[in-house]
Amino acid sequence: MEVMTVSRSVVVLRNDEDTLDLDADTKEQIMGNMYFRTADDDSAIRFYPMAEYTKPGTYEVRGSIVNLTGMSNSELVWNALNFGAFWYDLDNDLQSEVLTLEAGVLNEAVDDRTIDEDALTYTTHAIYQEYELHENEGLTVESDNYGGDAGYWLEGWMGEMYVAIDNNSDKLCKLLIEFEDGDRKTLFTGEKWDLGGGFALELMGIADTGDAVTLRLFKNDIPLKGSLKCINTGCCEQQDRVYTYTADIGGEETIPVFSCYVDVVFKGDISYVQLMYAFLIDDEVLEIDTGDKYGAMKVMTASKSGATLRNNEHTLDLDTDTNEHIMGNMYFKTADDDTAIRFYPFVERTIGEEPTPPPATIPADDVDGDGVPDAWDADNSTPSGYWVNSEGIGRKWGDVNGDGKLTSADALMILQAAVENIELG
């Protein structure tokens, strides 16, 4: 983008000297951290603008804004098209979450800012998705469930993507790994591949003939029963190159938990395999039951076909300048404006790891005798005659300015701090 006009009142930028190519499965930069994301679909040009944040912190992902002045609301509907926090599969144009507020619930003319009980509804359901393995190679995973060998079911739940096992919308597992068609993993003999969620895959060995490999899946370093399998790549059947580990989870039988395709085998001084189409779900199941409560929302119906939540026993007050909790990490944010009811839904997303909590007991060891425990001390060699601040940073006692001198001004500040109980840093 190039700045075309800039003045006291307006700034206008335009792609005056550059084109932007929305090729399939690309992220095209517009400017700064703003991009166009394009679907991996040759049959349509499907894309959206996005902003990318990588700096650790907590961010808002908001939905479309409602602005009521002197009137009541019409029916308000948020889905993945106008609420970026809801799950959306761009490549296949899939979405399942809908948040609906009934018409006439809010009225700015009489300053009615209360969402009454049973006026806010959230619904979601499972949607079929084909395995990359089946889509690209025409191969299947092991499964005794109808349709479960060629695909699985995705479902958005409070803004997160889950797999609905055996097409049960009320039994959800986290999707941990899903390789795209070009992704590969090279795994060496004896190496354990950390898959996440406590899972690891180990290449146990390769036959001397170089056409049979033995794989085993682990969970928390414990080998999973039935996961030790020999994959024969030398036969003429391509299907025999597919490794699948199934388990009975959430009351459902023979659910494919992990699968992959053995594409390349090399036997030599350093032996390895190359794996494609890896797919892994967590074996811990979130079961949604009628009557369950999530924040202000209660599960009204939960079945194989879908789940419906409603603020059945709670009102939500959209007072000015407030964040009203809906469920999970989802809220309504309301403007600090008495002349309008202006608000939007948002979800908080956190980038980066949570800080490590301090130990329950701090050891009293103090090597340099400066009065600060070593666990908190940034400098464990503070000489005698120095003091340290709360961060363990040392300075000669009384040297307020850090210049190595004690002036009358320093003395005055020390006296004032003592009287007012102020800690000098």
Under 8 Å CB-to-CB from 86, ≥6 apart: which residues?
Answer: 78, 79, 80, 95, 97, 99, 156, 159
pTM: 0.80
**Are 185 and 282 found together in one domain?**
yes
Structural domain that includes position 403: 361-425
Taking the C-alpha atoms of residue 160 and residue 87, their distance in angstroms, rounded to an integer, is: 6
88 forms beta bridges with: 95
Taking the C-alpha atoms of residue 322 and residue 316, their distance in angstroms, rounded to an integer, is: 11
Tell me the two tokens of residue 151: 């695909």
Q: What is the pLDDT of residues 279-328, one digit of tens each?
A: 999 999 999 999 999 999 999 999 999 999 999 999 999 999 999 999 99
Q: What is the pLDDT of residues 22-58, one digit of tens each?
A: 999 999 999 999 999 999 999 999 999 999 998 999 9
Contact 178, 279 (CB under 8 A): yes
Q: What is the pLDDT of residues 202-246, one digit of tens each?
A: 999 999 888 899 999 999 999 999 999 999 988 778 999 999 999
- The pLDDT, as a whole number, for residue 234 is 83
**Are 22 and 166 found together in one domain?**
no
Taking the C-alpha atoms of residue 373 and residue 143, their distance in angstroms, rounded to an integer, is: 58
Residue 6 lies in a domain: yes
Residue 119 lies in a domain: no
Residue 238 lies in a domain: yes
Cα–Cα separations (whole angstroms), residue 347 to 46, 130, 221, 411: 24, 29, 35, 52
**Are 266 and 380 found together in one domain?**
no
- The pLDDT, as a whole number, for residue 279 is 98
199-208: long-range contacts (C-beta < 8 A, 24 or more apart)?
199/258, 199/280, 201/258, 201/260, 203/272, 203/273, 204/228, 206/265, 206/267, 206/271, 206/273, 207/267, 208/267
Last residue of a domain, one of 287, 311, 332: 287
Last residue of a domain, one of 238, 253, 287: 287
pLDDT band, residue 384 (cuts 50/70/90): low
**Are 156 and 255 found together in one domain?**
yes
Higher-confidence position of 74 and 365:
74
Tell me the two tokens of residue 209: 């003939």
Q: What is the pLDDT of residues 326-348, one digit of tens each?
A: 999 999 999 999 999 999 999 99
**Are 229 and 136 found together in one domain?**
yes
pLDDT score of 372 more than 70:
no
Taking the C-alpha atoms of residue 175 and residue 163, their distance in angstroms, rounded to an integer, is: 6
DSSP summary character for residue 72? B
pLDDT score of 375 more than 80:
no
pLDDT band, residue 387 (cuts 50/70/90): low
Residue 109 lies in a domain: no
**Are 234 and 131 found together in one domain?**
yes
Residue 230 lies in a domain: yes
- The pLDDT, as a whole number, for residue 221 is 95
Q: Phi and psi for 240 in degrees, rounded to 5?
A: -70, -10
Taking the C-alpha atoms of residue 128 and residue 125, their distance in angstroms, rounded to an integer, is: 10
Within 13 Å of residue 288, how many CA atoms lie on the same side as its CB? 29
Residue 70 lies in a domain: no
**Are 171 and 274 found together in one domain?**
yes
- The number of folded domains in the chain is 3
Rounded to the nearest integer, the mean pLDDT of the chain is: 89
Within 13 Å of residue 188, how many CA atoms lie on the same side as its CB? 4
Last residue of a domain, one of 287, 304, 337: 287
Residue 188 lies in a domain: yes
- The pLDDT, as a whole number, for residue 352 is 80
- The pLDDT, as a whole number, for residue 425 is 44
CATH code for the domain of 184: 2.60.98.40
